Structure 1
Amino acid sequence: MTGWTASQLPDLTGKTVLITGGGRGLGLVTARELGRAGARVVLAVRDVSGARSVDFDVRRLDVADLDAVRDFAGSWSGALDVLINNAGVMDIPASRTAQGLDVQTATNYFGPYVLTNLLLPHLTDRVVTVTSQLHRTGKVSLDDLDWRSRRYSRMGAYEASKLAVVQFSLELQRRLEAAGSPVRSVLAHPGIARTALAAHSRSNVINRLRFLTNDAEQGARPILYAATQDVPGNAYVGPGGFGGLKGYPALGRPSKAGRDTAAAAALWAATATLTDAGQRVGWTTAASRIRPSR
Protein backbone atom coordinates (compact mmCIF):
# COMPACT_ATOMS: atom_id res chain seq x y z
CA MET A 1 0.00 0.00 0.00
CA THR A 2 1.36 3.41 -0.93
CA GLY A 3 1.44 6.30 1.54
CA TRP A 4 -0.17 9.69 1.41
CA THR A 5 1.14 12.29 -1.06
CA ALA A 6 0.12 15.74 -2.24
CA SER A 7 -1.79 14.14 -5.09
CA GLN A 8 -4.42 13.16 -2.52
CA LEU A 9 -5.15 16.69 -1.36
CA PRO A 10 -8.88 17.48 -1.18
CA ASP A 11 -10.52 20.23 -3.21
CA LEU A 12 -9.64 23.44 -1.36
CA THR A 13 -11.61 25.85 -3.52
CA GLY A 14 -12.88 28.72 -1.39
CA LYS A 15 -10.33 28.16 1.38
CA THR A 16 -7.79 30.79 2.39
CA VAL A 17 -4.37 29.72 3.69
CA LEU A 18 -1.67 32.01 5.09
CA ILE A 19 1.89 30.65 5.04
CA THR A 20 4.76 32.48 6.69
CA GLY A 21 8.18 32.11 5.13
CA GLY A 22 6.67 30.68 1.96
CA GLY A 23 9.07 32.21 -0.54
CA ARG A 24 11.25 29.09 -0.86
CA GLY A 25 11.85 25.61 0.46
CA LEU A 26 9.13 23.77 2.34
CA GLY A 27 6.87 26.83 2.43
CA LEU A 28 6.98 27.33 -1.31
CA VAL A 29 6.25 23.66 -2.04
CA THR A 30 3.40 23.76 0.46
CA ALA A 31 2.01 26.90 -1.17
CA ARG A 32 2.28 25.44 -4.67
CA GLU A 33 0.43 22.25 -3.76
CA LEU A 34 -2.31 24.03 -1.80
CA GLY A 35 -2.78 26.42 -4.69
CA ARG A 36 -2.96 23.52 -7.12
CA ALA A 37 -5.77 22.10 -4.97
CA GLY A 38 -7.71 25.34 -5.33
CA ALA A 39 -6.85 27.26 -2.18
CA ARG A 40 -6.30 30.99 -2.11
CA VAL A 41 -2.73 31.17 -0.79
CA VAL A 42 -1.22 34.21 0.89
CA LEU A 43 2.54 34.18 1.40
CA ALA A 44 3.96 36.29 4.21
CA VAL A 45 7.67 36.64 3.50
CA ARG A 46 10.56 38.76 4.71
CA ASP A 47 11.94 39.37 1.21
CA VAL A 48 9.10 40.22 -1.15
CA SER A 49 11.45 40.71 -4.11
CA GLY A 50 12.62 37.11 -3.83
CA ALA A 51 9.05 35.81 -4.08
CA ARG A 52 7.76 37.97 -6.92
CA SER A 53 8.02 35.12 -9.42
CA VAL A 54 5.38 33.04 -7.65
CA ASP A 55 1.74 33.28 -8.55
CA PHE A 56 0.33 34.01 -5.10
CA ASP A 57 -0.73 36.96 -2.96
CA VAL A 58 2.69 37.91 -1.55
CA ARG A 59 2.93 40.24 1.44
CA ARG A 60 5.91 41.42 3.43
CA LEU A 61 6.32 40.15 6.98
CA ASP A 62 9.40 39.65 9.12
CA VAL A 63 7.97 37.44 11.87
CA ALA A 64 10.91 38.28 14.12
CA ASP A 65 9.79 41.92 14.23
CA LEU A 66 6.83 41.93 16.62
CA ASP A 67 5.75 45.43 15.59
CA ALA A 68 5.57 44.20 11.99
CA VAL A 69 3.62 41.15 13.15
CA ARG A 70 1.08 43.38 14.90
CA ASP A 71 0.74 45.62 11.86
CA PHE A 72 0.32 42.63 9.56
CA ALA A 73 -2.34 41.01 11.73
CA GLY A 74 -4.12 44.33 12.18
CA SER A 75 -4.40 44.73 8.42
CA TRP A 76 -5.89 41.27 7.87
CA SER A 77 -9.54 41.22 6.83
CA GLY A 78 -11.91 38.36 6.16
CA ALA A 79 -11.89 34.74 7.20
CA LEU A 80 -8.67 32.73 7.39
CA ASP A 81 -9.12 28.98 7.20
CA VAL A 82 -5.58 27.81 7.85
CA LEU A 83 -2.53 29.57 9.29
CA ILE A 84 0.77 27.76 8.68
CA ASN A 85 3.57 29.05 10.89
CA ASN A 86 6.42 27.88 8.65
CA ALA A 87 9.00 30.69 8.76
CA GLY A 88 12.15 29.72 10.59
CA VAL A 89 15.90 30.10 10.96
CA MET A 90 18.44 27.60 12.25
CA ASP A 91 21.87 27.70 13.84
CA ILE A 92 22.49 31.42 13.30
CA PRO A 93 24.82 33.76 15.21
CA ALA A 94 23.46 35.78 18.11
CA SER A 95 21.65 38.95 17.06
CA ARG A 96 18.75 41.09 18.27
CA THR A 97 15.52 42.29 16.67
CA ALA A 98 14.23 45.87 16.64
CA GLN A 99 12.56 45.07 19.96
CA GLY A 100 15.81 43.69 21.40
CA LEU A 101 14.75 40.03 21.23
CA ASP A 102 16.94 37.13 20.15
CA VAL A 103 16.39 36.81 16.39
CA GLN A 104 16.38 33.02 16.27
CA THR A 105 13.88 32.66 19.12
CA ALA A 106 11.75 35.53 17.82
CA THR A 107 11.57 34.06 14.30
CA ASN A 108 10.81 30.52 15.38
CA TYR A 109 8.64 31.14 18.43
CA PHE A 110 7.83 34.68 19.65
CA GLY A 111 6.61 35.85 16.25
CA PRO A 112 4.35 32.83 15.61
CA TYR A 113 3.00 33.12 19.16
CA VAL A 114 1.93 36.74 18.68
CA LEU A 115 0.77 36.31 15.08
CA THR A 116 -1.41 33.31 15.94
CA ASN A 117 -3.05 35.05 18.87
CA LEU A 118 -3.78 38.19 16.87
CA LEU A 119 -5.27 36.25 13.95
CA LEU A 120 -7.51 34.05 16.10
CA PRO A 121 -10.63 36.18 15.47
CA HIS A 122 -10.28 35.36 11.75
CA LEU A 123 -9.42 31.66 11.97
CA THR A 124 -12.03 29.07 11.05
CA ASP A 125 -10.18 25.75 10.85
CA ARG A 126 -6.67 25.28 12.19
CA VAL A 127 -3.21 26.54 13.02
CA VAL A 128 -0.28 24.44 11.79
CA THR A 129 3.05 25.21 13.41
CA VAL A 130 6.22 23.69 11.98
CA THR A 131 8.59 22.23 14.54
CA SER A 132 11.55 19.85 14.41
CA GLN A 133 12.55 16.49 15.82
CA LEU A 134 15.37 18.46 17.44
CA HIS A 135 12.80 19.76 19.92
CA ARG A 136 13.55 16.49 21.72
CA THR A 137 16.95 17.80 22.80
CA GLY A 138 15.75 21.33 23.54
CA LYS A 139 15.62 22.92 26.97
CA VAL A 140 13.35 25.90 27.63
CA SER A 141 14.50 28.27 30.37
CA LEU A 142 11.50 30.24 31.64
CA ASP A 143 13.86 32.61 33.44
CA ASP A 144 15.79 33.36 30.26
CA LEU A 145 13.65 32.73 27.19
CA ASP A 146 15.52 35.46 25.35
CA TRP A 147 19.09 34.27 25.95
CA ARG A 148 20.29 37.22 28.00
CA SER A 149 21.61 35.53 31.13
CA ARG A 150 23.10 32.43 29.50
CA ARG A 151 25.89 32.01 27.04
CA TYR A 152 24.23 31.94 23.63
CA SER A 153 24.21 28.60 21.83
CA ARG A 154 23.33 28.62 18.14
CA MET A 155 21.88 25.12 18.12
CA GLY A 156 20.69 25.34 21.71
CA ALA A 157 18.55 28.35 20.81
CA TYR A 158 17.14 26.51 17.80
CA GLU A 159 16.30 23.38 19.76
CA ALA A 160 14.72 25.41 22.58
CA SER A 161 12.61 27.41 20.13
CA LYS A 162 11.29 24.23 18.53
CA LEU A 163 10.41 22.75 21.93
CA ALA A 164 8.70 26.05 22.74
CA VAL A 165 6.43 25.79 19.70
CA VAL A 166 5.50 22.22 20.67
CA GLN A 167 4.48 23.42 24.12
CA PHE A 168 2.77 26.43 22.55
CA SER A 169 0.60 24.14 20.43
CA LEU A 170 -0.33 22.09 23.49
CA GLU A 171 -1.44 25.12 25.48
CA LEU A 172 -3.14 26.73 22.49
CA GLN A 173 -5.21 23.60 21.94
CA ARG A 174 -6.17 23.51 25.61
CA ARG A 175 -7.31 27.12 25.44
CA LEU A 176 -9.23 26.60 22.22
CA GLU A 177 -11.08 23.65 23.71
CA ALA A 178 -11.82 25.58 26.91
CA ALA A 179 -13.27 28.41 24.81
CA GLY A 180 -15.47 25.98 22.89
CA SER A 181 -13.74 26.87 19.63
CA PRO A 182 -13.82 24.59 16.57
CA VAL A 183 -10.33 25.79 15.62
CA ARG A 184 -7.53 23.31 16.29
CA SER A 185 -3.80 23.64 16.75
CA VAL A 186 -1.56 21.00 15.16
CA LEU A 187 2.14 20.42 14.68
CA ALA A 188 4.14 19.24 11.68
CA HIS A 189 7.81 18.47 11.13
CA PRO A 190 9.66 17.50 7.93
CA GLY A 191 12.21 15.08 9.39
CA ILE A 192 15.55 16.31 8.07
CA ALA A 193 14.90 18.34 4.94
CA ARG A 194 17.52 19.43 2.44
CA THR A 195 16.58 23.11 2.28
CA ALA A 196 18.39 26.41 2.74
CA LEU A 197 17.30 26.43 6.40
CA ALA A 198 19.75 23.73 7.43
CA ALA A 199 22.22 23.75 4.55
CA HIS A 200 24.48 26.29 6.24
CA SER A 201 24.43 24.62 9.66
CA ARG A 202 27.86 24.12 11.17
CA SER A 203 26.81 20.63 12.24
CA ASN A 204 26.86 19.65 8.53
CA VAL A 205 24.19 17.04 9.29
CA ILE A 206 22.70 17.33 5.81
CA ASN A 207 25.86 16.13 4.11
CA ARG A 208 26.77 13.49 6.68
CA LEU A 209 23.30 11.91 6.83
CA ARG A 210 22.07 12.58 3.31
CA PHE A 211 20.64 9.07 2.99
CA LEU A 212 18.28 9.90 5.88
CA THR A 213 17.15 13.27 4.55
CA ASN A 214 14.18 14.48 2.52
CA ASP A 215 14.04 16.86 -0.38
CA ALA A 216 11.63 19.79 -0.15
CA GLU A 217 8.85 17.83 -1.86
CA GLN A 218 9.03 15.03 0.69
CA GLY A 219 9.57 17.37 3.62
CA ALA A 220 6.44 19.36 2.79
CA ARG A 221 4.17 16.32 2.91
CA PRO A 222 3.64 16.33 6.70
CA ILE A 223 2.80 20.04 6.58
CA LEU A 224 0.28 19.48 3.79
CA TYR A 225 -1.21 16.53 5.66
CA ALA A 226 -1.47 18.47 8.92
CA ALA A 227 -3.09 21.40 7.10
CA THR A 228 -5.76 19.45 5.22
CA GLN A 229 -6.51 16.07 6.77
CA ASP A 230 -8.84 15.20 9.66
CA VAL A 231 -6.26 15.10 12.43
CA PRO A 232 -7.02 15.71 16.12
CA GLY A 233 -6.10 18.87 17.97
CA ASN A 234 -2.42 19.01 18.92
CA ALA A 235 -1.60 16.22 16.45
CA TYR A 236 2.11 15.76 15.74
CA VAL A 237 2.59 14.91 12.06
CA GLY A 238 5.89 13.89 10.54
CA PRO A 239 7.53 11.24 8.40
CA GLY A 240 6.48 7.79 9.56
CA GLY A 241 9.78 6.01 8.96
CA PHE A 242 12.72 5.28 11.25
CA GLY A 243 13.22 8.01 13.85
CA GLY A 244 10.59 10.15 12.18
CA LEU A 245 13.22 11.18 9.64
CA LYS A 246 11.84 9.86 6.35
CA GLY A 247 8.70 8.30 5.00
CA TYR A 248 5.10 9.20 4.33
CA PRO A 249 3.15 11.43 6.77
CA ALA A 250 2.04 9.76 9.98
CA LEU A 251 0.85 10.77 13.42
CA GLY A 252 3.63 10.64 15.97
CA ARG A 253 4.27 11.78 19.51
CA PRO A 254 6.31 14.74 20.74
CA SER A 255 8.85 14.43 23.52
CA LYS A 256 7.80 14.11 27.15
CA ALA A 257 8.72 17.77 27.68
CA GLY A 258 6.55 18.69 24.71
CA ARG A 259 3.58 16.98 26.37
CA ASP A 260 4.08 18.65 29.77
CA THR A 261 0.88 20.65 30.31
CA ALA A 262 2.18 22.53 33.36
CA ALA A 263 5.34 23.57 31.52
CA ALA A 264 3.28 24.63 28.50
CA ALA A 265 1.02 26.84 30.62
CA ALA A 266 4.02 28.40 32.36
CA LEU A 267 5.73 29.05 29.01
CA TRP A 268 2.61 30.73 27.65
CA ALA A 269 2.46 33.07 30.64
CA ALA A 270 6.17 33.89 30.45
CA THR A 271 5.93 34.57 26.71
CA ALA A 272 2.91 36.81 27.15
CA THR A 273 4.90 38.90 29.63
CA LEU A 274 8.05 39.06 27.51
CA THR A 275 6.25 39.99 24.29
CA ASP A 276 3.69 42.24 25.99
CA ALA A 277 1.11 39.95 24.42
CA GLY A 278 -0.89 39.68 27.61
CA GLN A 279 -2.10 43.25 27.11
CA ARG A 280 -1.79 43.57 23.35
CA VAL A 281 -3.50 40.32 22.40
CA GLY A 282 -6.07 39.75 25.11
CA TRP A 283 -6.80 36.01 24.88
CA THR A 284 -10.32 36.13 26.29
CA THR A 285 -11.43 38.67 23.72
CA ALA A 286 -9.74 36.88 20.85
CA ALA A 287 -11.07 33.45 21.77
CA SER A 288 -14.63 34.65 22.19
CA ARG A 289 -14.60 36.18 18.71
CA ILE A 290 -13.34 33.15 16.82
CA ARG A 291 -15.56 32.55 13.83
CA PRO A 292 -17.49 29.28 13.71
CA SER A 293 -16.25 26.64 11.31
CA ARG A 294 -17.72 27.00 7.82
Structure 2
Amino acid sequence: MRGVQIGILGIGLALAGFGVYMAQDYVSKTQAAMAAAQANNVGRPSHEVVQVLVAGRPLRYGEPIQVTDVRTIDWPANAVPPGAFLDTESLIPDPTRPRVALRAMEPMEPLLAVKVSEPGQPAGIAAMLTPGSRAFTIRVDQNSGISGTLRPSDTIDIYWTGRSENGEVTRLLSSSVRIIALDENADQDRSFNGVPRSITIEAEPEMIASLAQGQSTGRLSLSLVGLDDAAETGSIQVDARSLLGIEARVEQVTERCTVRTRRGSEVVMIEIPCTN
Protein backbone atom coordinates (compact mmCIF):
# COMPACT_ATOMS: atom_id res chain seq x y z
CA MET A 1 0.00 0.00 0.00
CA ARG A 2 2.84 2.35 0.93
CA GLY A 3 4.52 1.59 -2.42
CA VAL A 4 1.39 2.61 -4.34
CA GLN A 5 1.21 5.93 -2.49
CA ILE A 6 4.85 6.61 -3.18
CA GLY A 7 4.27 5.85 -6.89
CA ILE A 8 1.30 8.23 -7.11
CA LEU A 9 3.29 10.96 -5.38
CA GLY A 10 6.14 10.48 -7.83
CA ILE A 11 3.79 10.76 -10.82
CA GLY A 12 2.28 13.97 -9.38
CA LEU A 13 5.69 15.53 -8.88
CA ALA A 14 6.67 14.60 -12.44
CA LEU A 15 3.49 16.20 -13.90
CA ALA A 16 4.01 19.35 -11.80
CA GLY A 17 7.56 19.66 -13.02
CA PHE A 18 6.45 19.23 -16.64
CA GLY A 19 3.82 21.95 -16.19
CA VAL A 20 6.38 24.37 -14.76
CA TYR A 21 8.67 23.64 -17.71
CA MET A 22 5.88 24.31 -20.25
CA ALA A 23 4.89 27.57 -18.52
CA GLN A 24 8.46 28.80 -18.54
CA ASP A 25 8.79 27.91 -22.21
CA TYR A 26 5.57 29.83 -23.06
CA VAL A 27 6.71 32.89 -21.12
CA SER A 28 10.07 32.82 -22.83
CA LYS A 29 8.53 32.63 -26.29
CA THR A 30 6.08 35.46 -25.49
CA GLN A 31 8.85 37.71 -24.23
CA ALA A 32 10.91 36.94 -27.34
CA ALA A 33 7.95 37.82 -29.62
CA MET A 34 7.34 41.11 -27.80
CA ALA A 35 11.01 42.01 -28.03
CA ALA A 36 10.99 41.27 -31.77
CA ALA A 37 7.86 43.41 -32.30
CA GLN A 38 9.41 46.32 -30.42
CA ALA A 39 12.57 45.95 -32.48
CA ASN A 40 10.57 46.07 -35.72
CA ASN A 41 8.79 49.28 -34.61
CA VAL A 42 12.02 51.10 -33.82
CA GLY A 43 12.35 54.08 -36.20
CA ARG A 44 8.71 54.07 -37.29
CA PRO A 45 6.76 57.29 -36.70
CA SER A 46 4.02 57.13 -34.10
CA HIS A 47 0.41 58.06 -34.97
CA GLU A 48 0.35 61.85 -34.78
CA VAL A 49 -2.76 63.78 -33.81
CA VAL A 50 -3.79 67.41 -34.14
CA GLN A 51 -6.41 69.53 -32.45
CA VAL A 52 -9.61 70.01 -34.51
CA LEU A 53 -12.57 72.19 -33.59
CA VAL A 54 -15.94 70.46 -33.28
CA ALA A 55 -19.41 71.61 -32.27
CA GLY A 56 -19.83 71.55 -28.51
CA ARG A 57 -23.63 71.64 -28.72
CA PRO A 58 -26.32 71.27 -31.41
CA LEU A 59 -26.04 74.15 -33.90
CA ARG A 60 -28.92 75.07 -36.17
CA TYR A 61 -29.05 77.05 -39.42
CA GLY A 62 -28.42 80.76 -38.93
CA GLU A 63 -27.05 80.52 -35.36
CA PRO A 64 -23.97 82.64 -34.60
CA ILE A 65 -20.99 80.56 -33.46
CA GLN A 66 -19.24 81.72 -30.29
CA VAL A 67 -16.18 80.39 -28.48
CA THR A 68 -18.43 78.69 -25.93
CA ASP A 69 -20.17 76.72 -28.72
CA VAL A 70 -17.06 74.78 -29.79
CA ARG A 71 -14.44 72.48 -28.31
CA THR A 72 -11.24 70.83 -29.48
CA ILE A 73 -10.60 67.11 -29.83
CA ASP A 74 -7.66 64.99 -30.97
CA TRP A 75 -7.87 64.01 -34.62
CA PRO A 76 -5.49 61.83 -36.71
CA ALA A 77 -3.13 64.21 -38.50
CA ASN A 78 -3.35 62.23 -41.75
CA ALA A 79 -7.17 62.31 -41.83
CA VAL A 80 -8.09 65.95 -41.16
CA PRO A 81 -11.15 66.91 -43.31
CA PRO A 82 -10.56 69.67 -45.89
CA GLY A 83 -11.60 73.06 -44.53
CA ALA A 84 -11.39 72.02 -40.86
CA PHE A 85 -10.56 74.69 -38.28
CA LEU A 86 -7.59 73.86 -36.04
CA ASP A 87 -7.87 76.77 -33.59
CA THR A 88 -10.47 79.24 -32.36
CA GLU A 89 -8.53 82.21 -33.76
CA SER A 90 -9.11 81.04 -37.34
CA LEU A 91 -12.78 80.22 -36.68
CA ILE A 92 -13.58 83.39 -34.70
CA PRO A 93 -11.02 86.08 -35.58
CA ASP A 94 -13.33 88.80 -34.22
CA PRO A 95 -15.95 87.94 -31.54
CA THR A 96 -18.00 90.98 -32.59
CA ARG A 97 -18.34 89.54 -36.14
CA PRO A 98 -19.09 85.83 -35.59
CA ARG A 99 -19.59 83.25 -38.27
CA VAL A 100 -23.03 81.62 -38.51
CA ALA A 101 -23.97 78.02 -39.20
CA LEU A 102 -25.06 77.40 -42.79
CA ARG A 103 -26.41 73.96 -41.94
CA ALA A 104 -27.35 72.01 -38.82
CA MET A 105 -24.48 70.41 -36.89
CA GLU A 106 -24.58 67.92 -34.05
CA PRO A 107 -22.22 67.77 -31.03
CA MET A 108 -18.71 66.46 -31.86
CA GLU A 109 -19.23 67.18 -35.58
CA PRO A 110 -16.17 68.89 -37.13
CA LEU A 111 -16.62 72.54 -38.08
CA LEU A 112 -15.75 72.95 -41.77
CA ALA A 113 -15.48 76.04 -43.96
CA VAL A 114 -18.41 74.88 -46.14
CA LYS A 115 -20.66 74.65 -43.08
CA VAL A 116 -20.14 78.18 -41.79
CA SER A 117 -20.29 81.69 -43.25
CA GLU A 118 -17.50 84.20 -43.51
CA PRO A 119 -16.91 86.31 -40.36
CA GLY A 120 -19.75 88.78 -39.92
CA GLN A 121 -21.70 87.43 -42.90
CA PRO A 122 -25.35 86.44 -42.30
CA ALA A 123 -26.78 83.10 -43.30
CA GLY A 124 -28.27 84.07 -46.64
CA ILE A 125 -28.12 83.09 -50.29
CA ALA A 126 -24.87 85.02 -50.83
CA ALA A 127 -23.15 82.87 -48.20
CA MET A 128 -24.10 79.69 -50.09
CA LEU A 129 -22.57 80.66 -53.44
CA THR A 130 -19.45 78.99 -54.77
CA PRO A 131 -16.81 81.59 -55.80
CA GLY A 132 -17.32 82.53 -59.46
CA SER A 133 -20.98 81.48 -59.49
CA ARG A 134 -24.14 83.58 -59.41
CA ALA A 135 -27.65 83.09 -58.05
CA PHE A 136 -30.68 83.08 -60.35
CA THR A 137 -34.32 82.71 -59.35
CA ILE A 138 -36.70 80.69 -61.52
CA ARG A 139 -40.45 81.14 -61.27
CA VAL A 140 -42.15 77.84 -60.50
CA ASP A 141 -45.75 76.65 -60.77
CA GLN A 142 -47.61 73.35 -60.97
CA ASN A 143 -46.63 73.03 -64.64
CA SER A 144 -42.88 73.28 -64.01
CA GLY A 145 -42.47 69.52 -63.68
CA ILE A 146 -41.19 69.48 -60.10
CA SER A 147 -42.91 68.99 -56.76
CA GLY A 148 -42.72 66.81 -53.69
CA THR A 149 -40.16 67.01 -50.90
CA LEU A 150 -37.38 69.37 -51.98
CA ARG A 151 -34.59 71.07 -50.09
CA PRO A 152 -31.63 73.31 -50.87
CA SER A 153 -28.59 71.31 -52.08
CA ASP A 154 -30.78 69.16 -54.38
CA THR A 155 -29.75 69.20 -58.06
CA ILE A 156 -32.01 69.62 -61.10
CA ASP A 157 -31.92 69.62 -64.89
CA ILE A 158 -33.42 72.67 -66.62
CA TYR A 159 -35.31 72.44 -69.96
CA TRP A 160 -36.55 75.24 -72.21
CA THR A 161 -39.68 74.97 -74.36
CA GLY A 162 -40.41 77.65 -76.95
CA ARG A 163 -40.88 78.49 -80.62
CA SER A 164 -38.15 78.01 -83.20
CA GLU A 165 -38.08 78.28 -86.98
CA ASN A 166 -39.20 74.63 -87.17
CA GLY A 167 -42.03 74.97 -84.65
CA GLU A 168 -42.12 74.42 -80.90
CA VAL A 169 -39.07 72.67 -79.43
CA THR A 170 -37.86 71.53 -76.00
CA ARG A 171 -34.13 71.72 -75.30
CA LEU A 172 -31.94 70.85 -72.30
CA LEU A 173 -30.28 74.09 -71.17
CA SER A 174 -28.29 72.89 -68.17
CA SER A 175 -27.88 69.68 -66.16
CA SER A 176 -27.10 68.99 -62.49
CA VAL A 177 -27.71 72.56 -61.32
CA ARG A 178 -27.59 73.01 -57.54
CA ILE A 179 -30.59 74.50 -55.73
CA ILE A 180 -29.49 76.95 -53.04
CA ALA A 181 -32.87 78.26 -51.87
CA LEU A 182 -36.58 77.49 -52.03
CA ASP A 183 -38.83 80.55 -51.81
CA GLU A 184 -35.71 82.52 -50.73
CA ASN A 185 -35.07 80.12 -47.81
CA ALA A 186 -31.54 78.65 -47.91
CA ASP A 187 -31.86 76.36 -44.86
CA GLN A 188 -30.60 72.98 -46.11
CA ASP A 189 -32.30 71.16 -43.24
CA ARG A 190 -35.77 72.47 -44.12
CA SER A 191 -37.82 70.29 -46.44
CA PHE A 192 -40.44 71.87 -48.71
CA ASN A 193 -43.57 69.87 -49.42
CA GLY A 194 -45.60 70.72 -52.50
CA VAL A 195 -44.70 73.24 -55.20
CA PRO A 196 -42.61 76.28 -54.20
CA ARG A 197 -43.27 79.66 -55.78
CA SER A 198 -39.64 80.06 -56.82
CA ILE A 199 -36.35 78.16 -56.87
CA THR A 200 -32.98 79.90 -56.63
CA ILE A 201 -30.15 78.05 -58.34
CA GLU A 202 -26.39 78.49 -58.60
CA ALA A 203 -24.80 78.76 -62.06
CA GLU A 204 -22.04 80.46 -64.01
CA PRO A 205 -22.78 83.94 -65.47
CA GLU A 206 -23.01 82.63 -69.05
CA MET A 207 -25.60 80.06 -68.04
CA ILE A 208 -27.49 82.73 -66.09
CA ALA A 209 -27.80 84.72 -69.34
CA SER A 210 -29.17 81.63 -71.15
CA LEU A 211 -31.70 81.01 -68.37
CA ALA A 212 -32.83 84.63 -68.38
CA GLN A 213 -33.34 84.52 -72.14
CA GLY A 214 -35.15 81.20 -71.87
CA GLN A 215 -37.45 82.44 -69.14
CA SER A 216 -38.41 85.53 -71.18
CA THR A 217 -38.90 83.76 -74.54
CA GLY A 218 -40.44 80.47 -73.47
CA ARG A 219 -41.14 78.20 -70.52
CA LEU A 220 -38.58 76.60 -68.17
CA SER A 221 -39.23 73.10 -66.85
CA LEU A 222 -37.29 71.38 -64.06
CA SER A 223 -36.38 67.75 -63.44
CA LEU A 224 -34.98 66.46 -60.13
CA VAL A 225 -31.66 64.56 -60.31
CA GLY A 226 -30.97 61.58 -58.04
CA LEU A 227 -28.59 62.00 -55.10
CA ASP A 228 -25.97 59.56 -56.42
CA ASP A 229 -26.54 60.22 -60.12
CA ALA A 230 -23.22 61.31 -61.66
CA ALA A 231 -24.04 60.36 -65.25
CA GLU A 232 -23.11 62.83 -67.96
CA THR A 233 -26.10 64.29 -69.83
CA GLY A 234 -25.48 65.20 -73.44
CA SER A 235 -27.34 67.58 -75.72
CA ILE A 236 -31.10 66.91 -75.78
CA GLN A 237 -33.62 68.51 -78.14
CA VAL A 238 -37.12 67.31 -78.97
CA ASP A 239 -39.71 68.80 -81.35
CA ALA A 240 -43.15 67.62 -82.44
CA ARG A 241 -41.80 65.53 -85.33
CA SER A 242 -39.23 63.66 -83.25
CA LEU A 243 -41.77 63.22 -80.44
CA LEU A 244 -44.24 61.53 -82.81
CA GLY A 245 -41.56 59.73 -84.82
CA ILE A 246 -42.38 61.56 -88.05
CA GLU A 247 -39.56 61.66 -90.55
CA ALA A 248 -39.16 64.82 -92.58
CA ARG A 249 -39.99 64.26 -96.26
CA VAL A 250 -37.49 65.37 -98.84
CA GLU A 251 -39.07 66.01 -102.23
CA GLN A 252 -36.81 65.68 -105.20
CA VAL A 253 -37.37 68.41 -107.76
CA THR A 254 -36.51 67.52 -111.34
CA GLU A 255 -35.21 70.39 -113.38
CA ARG A 256 -37.21 71.14 -116.51
CA CYS A 257 -35.92 73.17 -119.45
CA THR A 258 -38.28 74.76 -122.00
CA VAL A 259 -38.17 77.08 -124.99
CA ARG A 260 -40.84 79.41 -126.29
CA THR A 261 -42.00 79.26 -129.86
CA ARG A 262 -44.69 81.20 -131.64
CA ARG A 263 -47.29 79.47 -133.75
CA GLY A 264 -49.18 82.20 -135.40
CA SER A 265 -50.57 84.35 -132.66
CA GLU A 266 -50.07 81.66 -130.00
CA VAL A 267 -46.91 81.27 -127.84
CA VAL A 268 -46.15 77.61 -127.09
CA MET A 269 -43.74 76.26 -124.38
CA ILE A 270 -41.81 73.23 -125.66
CA GLU A 271 -39.81 71.06 -123.20
CA ILE A 272 -36.28 70.20 -124.33
CA PRO A 273 -33.37 68.28 -122.71
CA CYS A 274 -31.39 70.44 -120.27
CA THR A 275 -27.78 71.06 -121.31
CA ASN A 276 -26.44 71.65 -117.73
* Higher relative contact order, structure no. (Cα contacts within 8 Å, ≥ 6 residues apart): 1
Q: Which structure's residues are more often strand, by fraction?
A: 2
- Which category describes the TM-score, using the shorter chain as reference length? under 0.3
Larger radius of gyration: 2
Give the alignment's TM-score, normalised by structure 2.
0.19
